[in-house]
Chain A
Amino acid sequence: MVKGFFAANYANWREFFVRMPVWGMPLWALLAAFLAGSVVLVSVGANPARAYLALLQGAVGNQGLAATTLLKSIPLMLTSLAIVLAFRANVFNIGAEGQIYLGALFAVWAGINLRLPAFAHIFVTLLFGMIGGCLWGAIPGYLKAARGFNEVVVTIFMNYIAIAIVSYLVHAPLRESGWNFQTRAIADSARLPVILQDTDLHFGLVIALVMAAVVHVLLFHTTLGYQLRMVGYNAEAARYAGLRVTRLTVIALALSGALAGLAGAVEIAGVQYRLLEGFSPGWGFDAIAVALVGRLHPLGALLAALFFGGLRTGANSMQTAVGLPVVVVYIIQGLTVLFMAVGAALQHTRARRPAPARLEARDARNPAAAVGVE
């Protein structure tokens, strides 16, 4: 019986997952996560139905809340696009958090110190953010590609270094006089305009949507995108086909970093206007979950970002209404990622297959395959 448990043959489960349409996987994962989440809620004495209802009302209950949901989705959208780009090329970029910080740092510098006309200033500020993130992504990209470093470790290290750099700068050289550890505010000319009256929803939403389109075109309609995906699918084969895998890996991480940096810059230019310690609440890590649930597709990432942005917004109301802490949404989020991973694995499981084992082994490590993307 024990042996059966360890090495069970899930052939009929597989049927269920294999026949699943493209949008089925995230839906199954979310449904399963909410169900499993209810078990947790019941076990701590809460009423899941009431909690989820409060969550929903808190996320989209009125125009103001819906605008907040959109607002909170913006950094998640941009950062998850960064993750999509990297993961598609088989680069586990865990360093988006650090790239966000560097992007915000560069952007805040440009926003404070440059004197430009309004439109140009915004553009340059965001561009600086992209450059900052790009640099912070290119370093681990180079170390992975040329020196064979494990990118997971290097990008984690780069996160700590970036956060420490920003912490130092807002404590001393860039610190505004006063009590708080923060920089001065950026110039008015560098701020993104609000696009919906009586809310804080800013132009960053449009930027995120445009960027999703850009990433989509890049990945699926350009040679570069094709090459990146090819490296992601099978680096060995890509090398054999004459692609410069080293260069492509660096490009993937640099572009990914640029997008994450843009997320930081947009948050500076649209919401916070100044940089402070602990600037990001962990968007870089949340975005990994978002991108995976979005099945590493730009459109999917947008939808997933909206969903998780809504969860985050709704959680505040839920806390007041039902008395559950905001971290409940992490349970849902974590479970969703787990169920995605499991669902994708079941989908890809072959009961018996005579295919060459080496190829299968590579698939197993491929992040795209990990969430069921071909």
Chain B
Amino acid sequence: MLATLLQLLGSSDLIYATLRLTTPLLFAALGGLMCERAGVLNIGLEGLMLGGALAAYLTALATGSPWLGVLAAALAGLLAALLFAVAVVTLRANQIVAAVGLNILMLGLTGVLLRSAMGFAAGQNPAPTIPLWKVPLLGDLPGLGPVLFDHLPFVYLVFALVGVTAFIFYRTTWGLAIRAVGEHPHAAAAAGIRVMRVRYLTLLWSGCMAGIGGALLSIGYLNTFQEGMTAGRGFIAFSAIILGRWTPLGTMLASLLFGFADALQLRIQAFGAAIPYQFLVMLPYVVTLFALFGARRSRGPAASGVTYVAGEG
């Protein structure tokens, strides 16, 4: 049993699968990180991903182009995020409650739209999928090439976006504005930052990113859409942000941890190894809880979850 496990851990398949499974999570988490740093808790990632997954599938099926599918997913995420932003930023609804509503709404909406678009063949027609892109030169490296450089283009993109997000946060005035809004919106407003606009824009960005993450689930690694197919990945992405202590690098590492555990669990199921796969399903959560337990307290943005009301500073 141990031998099988060791063999698994050393296999290049596992690394490949880890990158694959991390990518949708990381898209949602990086987007979520942006609005969390601006003080908006986004538990709605789950619903945003689901909307993206359906939009991508239906569009790819209708147009024959997976790229248009991804675009549609980003737009769908954006629209759903706009609805959320109107509720929590303009109308000042409680962010957690509104997100709970949004997630339920998206579950219903995707189900109904799928059925109305496809009738009872719902989800049975295979959609065109995003092709793999082998990086020139690097992809031919013996050993590493097939593992690291023969993925969906979005895999490279998301890891590049980790760097971009970090750059935005710590090296640009935009990033400073975002962080200021998350820490002390009234001080930020006094300094001339338009708090509501920052929150709107970061939320819309988060919607696009989660939408793309969802698209990868439906037309990246599969060619179909199933009701509720995100299966909690949005919540995991939300957790990855907190586990990663609200930093881009930390969020990436946390997402990799969840992606790795997921990959391992799937492999073990496929191998029919003697370890019950359920233990591996729960492993990342148990490990995370213990890791958090041992870690010093971490603190998120001070104004996280606090509705901004102009003039009440």
Encode B110-129 as 1/0 by CB contact (under 8 A) with A: 01110110000000000000
B45, chain A: closest CB distance, angstroms? 12
| Interface check A306, CB cutoff 8 A | no
Find out whether the CB atom of B113 lies under 8 angstroms from the CB atom of A342. Answer: no
B76, chain A: closest CB distance, angstroms? 15
Q: How far is the CA of A85 from the CA of B247 in the complex (A)?
A: 34
A351, chain B: closest CB distance, angstroms? 9
Find out whether the CB atom of A342 lies under 8 angstroms from the CB atom of B239. Answer: no
| Interface check B37, CB cutoff 8 A | no
Q: A337-B97, A345-B307 are in contact. Are A171 and B285 (CB under 8 A)?
A: no
Write the chain B residue with the least CB distance to A325. Answer: B115
| Interface check A152, CB cutoff 8 A | yes
Find out whether the CB atom of B306 lies under 8 angstroms from the CB atom of A364. Answer: yes
Find out whether the CB atom of B107 lies under 8 angstroms from the CB atom of A341. Answer: no
| Interface check B106, CB cutoff 8 A | yes
CB-CB under 8 A from A153, the residues of chain B are: 238-239, 242-243
Find out whether the CB atom of B186 lies under 8 angstroms from the CB atom of A172. Answer: no
Q: How far is the CA of A352 from the CA of B309 in the complex (A)?
A: 10
CB-CB under 8 A from A127, the residues of chain B are: none
Q: A325-B115, A337-B101 are in contact. Are A346 and B108 (CB under 8 A)?
A: no
Say which residue of A148, A324, A360 sits within 8 Å of B297 (CB atoms).
Answer: A148
Say which residue of A45, A168, A325 sits within 8 Å of B276 (CB atoms).
Answer: A168
| Interface check B109, CB cutoff 8 A | yes
CB-CB under 8 A from B235, the residues of chain A are: 156
CB-CB under 8 A from B306, the residues of chain A are: 361, 364-365
CB-CB under 8 A from B183, the residues of chain A are: none
CB-CB under 8 A from A367, the residues of chain B are: 94, 96-97
Q: A45-B116, A147-B297, A365-B305 are in contact. Are A330 and B93 (CB under 8 A)?
A: no
Find out whether the CB atom of A171 lies under 8 angstroms from the CB atom of B107. Answer: no
Q: How far is the CA of A210 from the CA of B113 in the complex (A)?
A: 41
Encode A90-125 as 1/0 by CB contact (under 8 A) with B: 001000000000000000000000000000000000
Find out whether the CB atom of B98 lies under 8 angstroms from the CB atom of A341. Answer: yes
| Interface check A218, CB cutoff 8 A | no
Find out whether the CB atom of A161 lies under 8 angstroms from the CB atom of B293. Answer: no
Write the chain B residue with the least CB distance to A288. Answer: B100
Say which residue of B276, B288, B292 sits within 8 Å of A171 (CB atoms).
Answer: B276
Find out whether the CB atom of A7 lies under 8 angstroms from the CB atom of B112. Answer: no
| Interface check A213, CB cutoff 8 A | no
Say which residue of B89, B92, B278 sits within 8 Å of A349 (CB atoms).
Answer: B92
Q: How far is the CA of A350 from the CA of B309 in the complex (A)?
A: 9
Encode B300-313 as 1/0 by CB contact (under 8 A) with A: 10010111011111
Q: A153-B242, A338-B98 are in contact. Are A333 and B104 (CB under 8 A)?
A: yes
Write the chain A residue with the least CB distance to B113. Answer: A44
Q: A40-B112, A345-B91 are in contact. Are A165 and B276 (CB under 8 A)?
A: no
| Interface check B43, CB cutoff 8 A | yes
Q: A160-B281, A345-B92 are in contact. Are A44 and B103 (CB under 8 A)?
A: no
Q: A7-B310, A161-B286, A338-B87 are in contact. Are A172 and B276 (CB under 8 A)?
A: yes
Number of interface residues of B (CB under 8 A): 60
Q: Which parts of A214-270 form the interface with B (CB within 8 Å)?
A: none
Find out whether the CB atom of A150 lies under 8 angstroms from the CB atom of B106. Answer: no
CB-CB under 8 A from A357, the residues of chain B are: 186, 312-313
Q: A147-B293, A331-B108, A342-B93 are in contact. Are A157 and B276 (CB under 8 A)?
A: no
A148, chain B: closest CB distance, angstroms? 5
CB-CB under 8 A from A360, the residues of chain B are: 309, 312
CB-CB under 8 A from A152, the residues of chain B are: 43, 96, 238
Interface size class of A (residues with CB under 8 A): 35 or more
| Interface check B196, CB cutoff 8 A | yes
B48, chain A: closest CB distance, angstroms? 13
Find out whether the CB atom of A338 lies under 8 angstroms from the CB atom of B311. Answer: no
Find out whether the CB atom of B94 lies under 8 angstroms from the CB atom of A164. Answer: no
Find out whether the CB atom of A370 lies under 8 angstroms from the CB atom of B94. Answer: yes
Find out whether the CB atom of A342 lies under 8 angstroms from the CB atom of B108. Answer: no
Find out whether the CB atom of B196 lies under 8 angstroms from the CB atom of A330. Answer: no
Say which residue of B93, B106, B194, B312 sits within 8 Å of A334 (CB atoms).
Answer: B106
B241, chain A: closest CB distance, angstroms? 9
Write the chain A residue with the least CB distance to B279. Answer: A168
Q: How far is the CA of A288 from the CA of B93 in the complex (A)?
A: 16
Find out whether the CB atom of A329 lies under 8 angstroms from the CB atom of B108. Answer: yes
Encode A318-360 as 1/0 by CB contact (under 8 A) with B: 0000001101111111111111111011100110110101001
CB-CB under 8 A from A143, the residues of chain B are: 289, 292-293
Find out whether the CB atom of A336 lies under 8 angstroms from the CB atom of B312. Answer: no
A273, chain B: closest CB distance, angstroms? 23
| Interface check B62, CB cutoff 8 A | no
* A289, A292, A324, A337: most-surrounded residue (chain B CB, <10 A): A337
Q: A164-B281, A344-B93, A349-B309 are in contact. Are A334 and B108 (CB under 8 A)?
A: yes
| Interface check B205, CB cutoff 8 A | no
Say which residue of A5, A344, A352, A370 sits within 8 Å of B96 (CB atoms).
Answer: A370
Q: How far is the CA of A340 from the CA of B289 in the complex (A)?
A: 33
* B103, B105, B106, B281: most-surrounded residue (chain A CB, <10 A): B105
Say which residue of B111, B297, B305 sits within 8 Å of A364 (CB atoms).
Answer: B305
A140, chain B: closest CB distance, angstroms? 9
Write the chain B residue with the least CB distance to A351. Answer: B311
| Interface check B232, CB cutoff 8 A | yes
| Interface check B90, CB cutoff 8 A | yes
B79, chain A: closest CB distance, angstroms? 14
Say which residue of B101, B106, B297 sits within 8 Å of A341 (CB atoms).
Answer: B101
Q: Which parts of A29-73 form the interface with B (CB within 8 Å)?
A: 40-41, 44-46
Can you add 9 more A-B contacts, CB < 8 Å, to A167-B278, A292-B100, A327-B111? A160-B232, A172-B276, A285-B104, A286-B104, A330-B108, A335-B101, A335-B105, A338-B105, A345-B307
Which 8 A-B residue pairings sit nearest by Cβ, starting from the closest? A334-B105, A330-B108, A337-B101, A370-B94, A327-B111, A334-B104, A331-B108, A44-B116
5 contacts between A and B (CB under 8 A): A147-B292, A340-B97, A341-B93, A361-B303, A364-B305
